[in-house]
Amino acid sequence: MRAAPTILHLDMDAFYAAAEQAAKPSLRGKPVVVGGIGTRGVVATASYEARRFGVHSAMPVAQARRLCPNAAYLMPRFALYRTVSEQVMELLGRLSPLVEPLSLDEAFVDLEAGGVADDSASARRAGELLRADIRAVTGLTGSVGLAGSKMLAKIASEQAKPDGLVLIEPGTERELLGPMPVRVLPGVGPATGEHLRRAGMTTVADLAEAGEDELVRLLGKAHGVSLYRMAVGHDERPVVAERDAKSVSVEDTFEVDLHDRVRVRNEVVRLSDRCVQRLRAAGRSGRTVVLKVRRYDFSTLTRSETLRGPTDDPAVVREAAGRLLESVDTTGGVRLLGVGVTGLADFTQEDLFAQAAGELAEAEAGAAREAAETAEGGAGSGDPVAPPVPEPEPESHRRWLAGQDVRHTEYGAGWVQGSGVGRVTVRFEEPTSPPGRVRTFPVDDPDLSPSDPLPLVRAAGDQAGSSPASRPKSRSGAGEEMSSP
């Protein structure tokens, strides 16, 4: 525990939904829900306007639509969120070399390690400047918590929401924590919370009063000791700059249960390729392939296979996932499929047998094609038969998703408001424009095409110069300029 509140926790406010509102002027001040837009989708983030209707993260979208039918339901645009997250993390990196990202929109920062704060006044100053810089660079708001430990800094940022700053003075921890529910402490989930409730402990003060021995008796030595220390305000976990990923995975939930075994197999192949793409993007390889299958009755099965060495070869991952699929009964229907890789490493060890098998299969396929061409040529005029050319997918099969970025050759940038019955409705507006006009087109309109997200703030790089890192640092003011009398 530190004597000064120099650990900062930043949590962006309703991040995905706020980014969508910033990108789409017509949605500002209105309820927005980001997540799976199908009947089986799940809410990723709801704007504060939607939360007033009871919509929250991890809620089924079908339930959210019943609670807030007039909200805008949009697909996630992770390319945009990652770009904004990188801008925010860059600002945090200018505060300190010790930044511990927890997700795209959340991180701890050790202000003391950066030399920008050593007491309450300088920590508050650094936090306020950070909030101002985030708004200037991204157009979004974030809530900041400051305390002498990670646990309390996170609690403080939750109290600061939305768009605020809360500083917990060292020495006031027990008074602050006492009336809070036990679930506020790290490591207390639904099961542990219920176990403690049955023992008559519902607040943090109850845990502190029960004592370490009683908590050890109820929860075991490791969990009991840790929980007691947190209940009395002690948390000595350091801010760790590098958090090593333990796995890479992708999964999809399907609108309608999959019954066709061939379709299931094709989806596993597709997910395997996506998983390898993420693996390679991270510069990693993995030793264990994991298959996740959620069946029609919501039962979830996982199967894994450990390879002889780490790999990032898509053929190897596809083959392993396919073998795992053979051990799973999917006759009743499949709701969800996932493919992951664990046991990550920074190098690859090629699976020579799989590579040889792939080359053999390719050679056999080539020989079969040659034989077929020869047979067809002998039956006809004797001219060589050209290999078949796959027909392009019909334009009518183009799928437009709500919230998707598009561009029209005449009307410019916009986003999909909805589609169906062969039509797509687009609202043409940009982050820095007034609310735009809505127009409807055929889904195969050749002038309409997908596009990349637009920046939320113009010339964001120029504005970054106002960050705390660009201001002179002082031990007393965390960025205040020293002036002579």
Q: How many CA atoms lie within 13 A of 355 on its CB side?
A: 7
SS3 state of residue 297: coil
pLDDT, average across residues 17-26: 96
In this predicted structure, the answer to whether residue 258 has a pLDDT above a threshold of 80 is yes
pLDDT digits (tens, 9 = 90+) for 270-299: 999 999 988 887 778 899 999 999 988 888
pLDDT, average across residues 100-128: 94
Using the 8-state DSSP alphabet, how is residue 115 labeled?
Answer: T
In this predicted structure, the answer to whether residue 349 has a pLDDT above a threshold of 50 is no
CA 390 vs. chain centroid, Å, equals 36
Separation CA 473–CA 470 (nearest Å): 9
Separation CA 440–CA 447 (nearest Å): 12
**Catalytic residue status for 112:** no
Lowest mean pLDDT of 111-115, 234-238, 472-476, name the range: 472-476
In this predicted structure, the answer to whether residue 480 has a pLDDT above a threshold of 90 is no
Q: Where are the beta strands (DSSP E) in 346-411?
A: 405-408
In this predicted structure, the answer to whether residue 201 has a pLDDT above a threshold of 80 is yes
Q: Where are the beta strands (DSSP E) in 83-173?
A: 99-103, 106-110, 142-147, 165-167
In this predicted structure, the answer to whether residue 24 has a pLDDT above a threshold of 60 is yes
CA 93 vs. chain centroid, Å, equals 20
Provide the whole-model pTM. Answer: 0.70
The pLDDT, as a whole number, for residue 36 is 78
Instruction: Give me the catalytic one of 100, 106, 429, 430.
Output: 106
Separation CA 478–CA 122 (nearest Å): 5
CA angle 17, 20, 21 (to 5 degrees): 90
Using the 8-state DSSP alphabet, how is residue 182 labeled?
Answer: G
Separation CA 351–CA 307 (nearest Å): 8
Bridge pairing between strands 285-295 and 300-311: antiparallel
pLDDT, average across residues 435-454: 94
Q: Give the tokens for residue 166.
A: 């809360």
Whether 227 and 187 have beta carbons less than 8 Å apart is answered as yes
Compute the mean pLDDT over every residue in the chain, rounded to the nearest whole number: 84
Separation CA 222–CA 229 (nearest Å): 11
To the nearest whole percent, how much of the chain has pLDDT over 70? 83
Task: List Cα–Cα distances, 82 to 16, 79, 103, 152, in angstroms.
Answer: 10, 5, 10, 27
Separation CA 88–CA 82 (nearest Å): 10
Separation CA 344–CA 275 (nearest Å): 13
Task: List Cα–Cα distances, 104 to 15, 79, 87, in angstroms.
Answer: 9, 11, 11
